[in-house]
Chain A
Amino acid sequence: MLNKIKEIWQTINSPSHYYSLGILIIAGFAAGIIFWGSFNTVLEATNTETFCISCHEMNNNVYQELKSTIHYTNRSGVRATCPDCHVPHNWTDKIARKMQASKEVWGKIFKTIDTREKFLAKRKELAQHEWDRFKANDSLECRNCHDFQYMDFTRQGKRAEQAHSSGLANGEKTCIDCHKGIAHELPDMAGVEGW
């Protein structure tokens, strides 16, 4: 075993006998494009709603709940898909979230929420993760579309205008503080601040 590793290391470590430097550079460049391209393609494929709801855990619970909300259907037909709100759009943050998501693969394999009952029992914990994430990044995924800079208060209701021009404007509060449960049903809210 150790000899074999040594042998491989020697092959890698010694200069090429047959190929010119130019070929190696061009081939390396081409291989890089193919590897990176396919990596990114697969990454983006996992970043679609079709991928999310290919698991029944997502399809039967949270996706069905989303369907009746304004983020799924509304007068102008602009809609948000799962990754729009649940995966950061920025590349480094996205990779970090994707690595975290390996926990979700674990959950899928070991069937942590494979029935409605198990899902409901775990809902508060799962919701809390998302609330914490939104709170920590100042509701970044909301703000990807709902930019405070361009909000026209005169087009908002009186109460909305009041809340947005005070708490949100001075940075004391962030979207998720008030807008919990806008896209999915809520867990038992006893003990949650503001409920």
Chain B
Amino acid sequence: MKALILILLLMPFMVLAEEDIATLRSADISIEPDAPRMGNEENKDMKRKRNYPMQPPTIPHKVSGYRIDLNSNKCLSCHSRRQVTDSQAPMISVTHYMDRDGNFLAEVSPRRYFCNQCHVLQKEVKPLVGNYFEDIDTVLKNKK
């Protein structure tokens, strides 16, 4: 009973709070808004500079239709240690062959298997939100 009264009392504030919530869906729930156009995947095969040394490198090529599942991993068919002679693709880093205790494994570590958890492709689109990230070189330069 007490809880119900509390909820009733708080109701006006809850409605207010709801209006403040930022949302990507800028339309009423009953309306199906037009989806934004899909951007083109970057396919230049040119490495991008990393913003910080530990950043997972971005994918500079198309990956549509690349399957990563229990049966197969399309990325590894070029980027695994075994395949780089044929593909001349960059080999995935040695950390991917290590378990979390630092022991080296024969195959890619299961915790590194799902490439697109960290490595993402890039699209030619206008960013939805601003970004004020500065890399370390800029920070050091501005400090002087």
Interface residues of A (CB under 8 A from B): 69-70, 157-159, 162, 181-182, 185-189, 194-195
Q: Is the CB of B65 within 8 A of A158?
A: no
- From A159, A162, A182, A188, B71 is in contact (CB under 8 Å) with A188
A128 to chain B, nearest CB (A): 14
Could you give, for residues 72-84 of chain B, a 1 whenever the CB lies within 8 Å of some chain A CB and a 0 otherwise? 1110110000010
| Interface size, chain B (Cβ < 8 Å) | 17
**How many residue-residue contacts, CB under 8 A, span A and B?**
33
**B65, A157: Cβ atoms under 8 Å?**
no
Contacts of A195 in B (CB 8 A): 72-73, 76-77
With contacts A185-B71, A189-B71, A189-B72 taken as known, whether A70 is within 8 angstroms of B65 at the C-beta atoms is yes
Q: Given A157-B61, A157-B62, A194-B86, are A186 and B72 neighbors across the interface (CB < 8 Å)?
A: yes
Given contacts A186-B67, A194-B83, 4 further A-B contacts (CB under 8 A): A157-B45, A186-B72, A189-B72, A194-B86
Q: Confirm or deny: B43 has a beta carbon within 8 angstroms of a beta carbon on chain A.
A: yes
- Those of B53-91 within 8 Å (CB) of chain A: 61-62, 65, 67, 69-74, 76-77, 83, 86, 88
Bound-state Cα–Cα, A178 to B71, Å: 16
B19 to chain A, nearest CB (A): 39
Quote the shortest CB–CB distance from B105 to chain A (angstroms). Answer: 15
Chain A, residue nearest B80 (CB): A195
Q: Out of B43, B65, B74, which one reaches A69, CB within 8 Å?
A: B65
Looking at the assembled complex, report how far the CB atom of B71 sits from the nearest CB atom of chain A, in whole angstroms: 5
Contact for A159 among B45, B77, B83, CB less than 8 A? B45
CA distance A188 to B67 in the complex (A): 12
Given A186-B72, A189-B72, A194-B86, are A159 and B61 neighbors across the interface (CB < 8 Å)? yes
- Min Cβ gap B60→A in Å is 10
